[in-house]
Amino acid sequence: MNQKRKAYELSSPSDNKTFYNEWASRYDTDFYDDIDRENYGYPKKVADIYFRMAKKDNTPIADIGCGTGALGKHFMDPNFIIDGFDISPKMLTESKNKGYYRKLYECDLTKTAKLPRQKYRGLISCGAFTFGHLGPDHLLGIIQMLENGGLGVLGVNKGYYVKNGFENEIRKLESSGKINNIKIFEEPTSSKKTIKDIKTLKNEEINKMFVFTA
């Protein structure tokens, strides 16, 4: 079983912390080898959507489940400030060495009441909302990190999105006025696949892109 599959089977925050601490020093090599290093386009697609939708004031940005910085490296833009949040201190150490982030915070993202409120103008995530990780019940607490009018771009594995009822939770948040201007669309994980290929792909090979404002 490859490491990605093991990560999908994690069942608790403590499991996540132990697993990623042990994997941190090999993560960049192992993970990308598991899923085809050259074709992994998911982080860049999230970043591209953010830059396309963002205004000049959609900074600073919180990267949820930042890991070693797979998404953060696409935000090396002097006009955007980015902070990273992750449960694994050793993953954060790997990320710190790359210099992508202004600040890095070790935290259990399932304990959303302890996260900063209305501090950020942007919110991004790539890989945190998936099997063995964050679920739809954590969306509200994560979203509350945004100031009013802040922009969010969250990627969610489609198989996980469908199985766990993300659509229902998103519509509840919309009807309660927590989020607005919702756009949900699909992107292949692979950089060699396009929207035209969606019908030929499995749900696990597709990511739902959840875009909104607070």
Can you give the pLDDT at residue 152?
A: 98
The distance from CA 137 to its chain's CA centroid, rounded to whole angstroms, is 15
Structure tokens at 186: 């699909």
pTM, two decimal places: 0.90
Question: What CA–CA distance (Å, rounded) separates 38 from 32?
Answer: 8
Which stretches in the chain have pLDDT values below 70? Answer: 1-11, 13, 20-21, 31-39, 131-132
Can you give the pLDDT at residue 122?
A: 98
Residue owning tokens 């696949």: 193
Can you give the pLDDT at residue 5?
A: 66
Is the peptide bond between 13 and the residue preceding it cis, with omega within 30 degrees of 0? no
Can you give the pLDDT at residue 1?
A: 46
CB 65 within 8 A of CB 125: yes
Residue 97 structural domain: 3-213
Query: Helices 13-23 & 27-35, crossing angle to 10 degrees?
Result: 100
Structure tokens at 212: 């909104």
Question: What CA–CA distance (Å, rounded) separates 211 from 122?
Answer: 11
Can you give the pLDDT at residue 42?
A: 87
Question: What CA–CA distance (Å, rounded) separates 78 from 34?
Answer: 32
CATH code for position 127:
3.40.50.150
Can you give the pLDDT at residue 131?
A: 58
**pLDDT per residue as tens digits for the range 68-126:** 999 999 999 999 999 999 999 999 999 999 999 999 999 999 898 889 999 999 999 99
The total number of structural domains in the chain stands at 1
